[in-house]
């Protein structure tokens, strides 16, 4: 509904509209890495489908307004992004692992930890979105870092960055959890002259410093009550 409302506003005032879609439109992909031409493998009635199908519907609405009403639109499909100032407990895997290790808790890994994700630093994403809005191409464009990590590999990077004694706690996997996720960014490279610059081992310490400061302040606040 938010997308529909904003498309109506963009139509009325002649604005260029940016839809920040998601790699979740690909569902549990049967194509690897995922290109923008891939239509996806999504369970329409699963536990994750409200998000997956919500974003797919948002893309549909955006293209309908573009084709039917001439609204200028841009569509970005954003892959996992991390960085400072994220919510400490937002449930995303990088913030989960970082917050858990700083709090001396075990890292929660769902399933066998062999599912893969690709992680881009927030500044790379911002540069990609600016390039998309400044350019003349509608998209959709994959904006993500093609560096691919299993959850266990991510856990090892977090351990090496924060605390080598950190442990892992395995839990049953969640429903419809994608097995693989990696963007093909050829289109963004060619048409937007964009590609990510910050590898995980450089970006993660910047996020860790921010999280450590906030968790420390949070703990001090609890001690004062």
CA dihedral 15, 5, 24, 76 (to 10 degrees): 0
Residues designated as active site: 51
The three-state secondary structure class of 198 is coil
- Cα(112)–Cα(159) distance, integer angstroms: 18
Asked if 38 and 187 touch (Cβ cutoff 8 Å), the reply is no
* Residue 141: Cβ within 10 Å count: 27
Helices (H), 32-150: 49-69, 93-102, 122-134
- Cα(202)–Cα(124) distance, integer angstroms: 12
- Cα(127)–Cα(195) distance, integer angstroms: 9
- Cα(119)–Cα(221) distance, integer angstroms: 32
The three-state secondary structure class of 84 is coil
Asked if 105 and 167 touch (Cβ cutoff 8 Å), the reply is no
200-224 helix and 93-102 helix, angle to the nearest 10 degrees: 50
- Cα(188)–Cα(219) distance, integer angstroms: 42
């Amino acid at each position: 509904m938010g997308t529909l409302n904003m498309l109506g506003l963009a139509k009325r005032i002649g604005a260029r509209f940016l839809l920040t879609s998601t790699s979740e439109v690909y569902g549990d992909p049967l194509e690897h890495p995922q290109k923008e031409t891939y239509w996806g493998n999504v369970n329409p009635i699963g536990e994750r489908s409200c998000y997956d199908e919500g974003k797919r519907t948002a893309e549909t609405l955006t293209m309908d307004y573009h084709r039917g009403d001439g609204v200028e639109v841009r569509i970005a499909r954003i892959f996992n992004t991390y960085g400072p100032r994220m919510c400490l407990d937002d449930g995303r895997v990088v913030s989960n692992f970082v917050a858990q290790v700083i709090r001396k808790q075990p890292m929660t890994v769902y399933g066998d930890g062999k599912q893969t994700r690709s992680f881009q630093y927030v500044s790379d994403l911002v540069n990609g979105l600016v390039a998309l809005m400044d350019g003349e191409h509608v998209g959709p464009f994959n904006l993500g870092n093609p560096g691919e990590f299993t959850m266990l590999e991510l856990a090892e990077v977090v351990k090496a960055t924060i605390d080598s004694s950190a442990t892992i706690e395995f839990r049953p996997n969640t429903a419809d959890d994608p097995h693989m996720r990696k963007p093909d960014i050829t289109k963004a490279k060619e048409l937007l002259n964009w590609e990510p610059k910050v590898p995980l081992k450089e970006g993660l310490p910047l996020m860790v410093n921010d999280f450590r400061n906030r968790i420390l302040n949070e703990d001090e606040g609890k001690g004062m009550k």
